[in-house]
Amino acid sequence: MIATLDDALFAAPVEPLLLLSILRHGQEGRHIILTDPSFQRHGQGAVNQWLAARDPLVRDAAEAALDRSLSAYNSTTSLAEFRVEARKQSHWEGTPPELTPKDAARVLALPLLLVLEDRRADKHFLRCVLPEPRRGELRDALGRGWIRAEHGGGLSNMKKYVETLGTSPPSGCGCGSSSTVMPSSPGSLPGIQKPSGIPVRRRRSLTINSSAAASRTICHPGHCTNGLASAVANPLPGSCGRSRRSRP
């Protein structure tokens, strides 16, 4: 996911720890964190003045996070983007959405829900069939809690599950979650209409729905963090010594 921080945000009365929590995702490589205008180490923008006031260790880490994100942005396949601005309320329906720092931090901390027909068997299959380095990226993301495999059941149940993601926040969280739906047989969803809240695929676009209960649900099918979706959509045949049908 790509989060672009407005430069004016760094001149606003925003808690420094909140901004650092957003920048940390860029340092970890979980998300791409950009600034507008683009960050330059020796620039004169508000972000440079904000960084100059930080402890040297913190400043170095934040600068490294922004540099890493700029490099990753040039090769990303991410379809999801939002802006972070100094505003009182988030504008979830924008293109791209414009979020407050607090809402942005909550969204970035959410795991990507990987909805599978069979959580155990299909997750094992993905771990097996993905080529390196995607296999290692998936293993790392699952281990860190960045991706969470969910049991969607049969095709009809998966449809219902995805539809609820557009209207209901997950248990214990008032801010929703990202989701990728992956049936065992790609393209085997005849007659299933696109659920409400799932946008048509566009380069670096994201639709976020806001319900009356203040839930935040993000749906962007075909997108998986760290570029995993493209590898999953076109797996290498026989990568694990057995066919798709013969897996346990």
Q: Are residues 194 and 91 in the same domain?
A: no
Q: Which of 106, 137, 159 is the last residue of a domain?
A: 106
**Which has the closest alpha carbon to 31: 5, 69, 60, 63?**
69
What pLDDT sits at residue 96?
93
Q: Which of 56, 84, 106 is the last residue of a domain?
A: 106
Q: Are residues 71 and 134 in the same domain?
A: no
> 219: how many CB neighbours lie within 10 A of its CB?
27
Domain count, the chain: 2
Residue 248: inside a domain, yes or no? Answer: no
Q: Are residues 94 and 120 in the same domain?
A: no
Length, in residues, of the chain = 248
Residue 244: inside a domain, yes or no? Answer: no
**Which has the closest alpha carbon to 239: 147, 137, 142, 127?**
127
Q: Are residues 204 and 138 in the same domain?
A: yes
> pLDDT tens-digit profile of 128-160?
888 888 888 889 988 999 988 887 776 677 777
Residue 201: inside a domain, yes or no? Answer: yes
**Which has the closest alpha carbon to 104: 18, 221, 178?**
18
Q: Are residues 147 and 47 in the same domain?
A: no
Which residues constitute the domain of residue 218? 110-233
Q: Are residues 88 and 125 in the same domain?
A: no
What pLDDT sits at residue 161?
72
First-to-final CA distance of the chain: 33
What pLDDT sits at residue 179?
52
Q: Does pTM surpass 0.85? A: no
Tell me the β-bridge partners of 98: 83, 91
Q: Are residues 24 and 84 in the same domain?
A: yes
Q: Are residues 177 and 115 in the same domain?
A: yes
Q: Are residues 84 and 117 in the same domain?
A: no
Q: Which of 52, 74, 106 is the last residue of a domain?
A: 106
List CB contacts of 151: < 8 A, sequence separation 6 or more: 116, 118, 119
Residue 27: inside a domain, yes or no? Answer: yes
Residue 11: inside a domain, yes or no? Answer: yes
Q: Are residues 124 and 217 in the same domain?
A: yes
Residues of the chain with pLDDT under 50: 168-177, 181-182, 185-248
Residue 238: inside a domain, yes or no? Answer: no
Q: Are residues 160 and 101 in the same domain?
A: no
C-alpha span between 30 and 97 (Å, rounded): 20
Q: Are residues 101 and 132 in the same domain?
A: no
